[in-house]
Structure 1
């Protein structure tokens, strides 16, 4: 045991002797300060306790201050994460709303389309003399107006058949193919329709003008005082071109030029489905 202590002393002295003067002083000062601090701590002096508590307070304060940036960074990270989550949720909700709105509009269109078809089919069931046709395209020029239908000879479509929209006259069949047919509209300049002004029973001819209104021809001036803008004109059925009583339009008098024009009941820019009347062929054959 004594030998071990001697070896420790010898080693300490050897290390101490190897140091330079400055290093020796520093090491010696550190040893003395440590011994003094241990002695003072063991004596439990009040000033030492206060100094120790003060040092601990300083350490704690420094720890709190040092932890502030970390807390701020963590708070900013959590806020950014929450913001991104809210943004993603809002984006998903907007996408769902747009999808819902698109589906709603599509459903509204389908419902409207079905209602129109049901109305047309219901009218067709009341009268078996009608053939429902879809307008495929329109061929419009400054003077020539016609539409193409998706019905042809395979559907018993024939030349001269009347075509109506909501029971209002649209035109007549002038060309028939196996799957399609062409209709000349009443607005076409080549369209000449025998008409009758009701309730006066005055006969005239309704001609197309290439525009959205027609003109009244072959009307004697002696009838002018009897006619006003509130009168309607229908097909007369003369010559068997159309069956009588199909509404054409409402009369309008141009007092300046002393001519009558016809505001057609049908809106030719909105044609989607039309009805082809096959009964007028029977009327035509009967008159022949």
Structure 2
């Protein structure tokens, strides 16, 4: 069987970067994570992944993934039978890595991505893929048929929307899932201005548009979100940091010190929904 050719939108192509990052990391002698499925998918997709080789952002994508994983693990430790929704799931394997045998899981992405996912993954009684835009309430109608509590995660997705669309998406989540936890990343104006120098993004046509210099200001939008945690990729949770290979644990303090401005321009945030939008 030949390698699978892709037909993805411009922004959707960016899903291949973290996929490749996990595959590259998995091939290392002592990886920060092991993702055999990512290695399999990279090997079966007809795409020039080699153009991303050597980029430091591949490791950054792995650290980001591990931090989001940490929030999911913490949520499932408190709510083993809760519901997790991954918006803009791409070709992520988070369910495979974190499934506790009881969680109800929804993977949401645009139709072209879900069509690609279905070549590698299948729905079952606890895992459902939904072809839908984050701006469309249809996905919330499906998810609400499952019991809470809810954790909604969106990794490297909202950055590519306008601020107006980000507000719409987050308002939809807040009004649909009172009491939920919501995790997503933000990038500062500095990050937007210098994205053309990003070692991986400069090799695709997608452009990030939403600049957010201070994640806590999202609380002022009046949509019921309250910031609980905000981290950089150099500041993983204690449990995540302890599980990293020694070389990464040694590297993180240096990264925080020598590249503080650059690292700090990109943040991973965990919010809680405390009330419905005003």
TM-score tier by shorter-chain length is under 0.3
Which structure's relative contact order is higher, taking Cα pairs within 8 Å and 6+ residues apart? Answer: 2
Larger CA Rg, structure 1 vs 2: 1
TM-score by length of 1: 0.21
Q: Which has the higher strand share?
A: 1
TM score, norm. by length of structure 2: 0.21
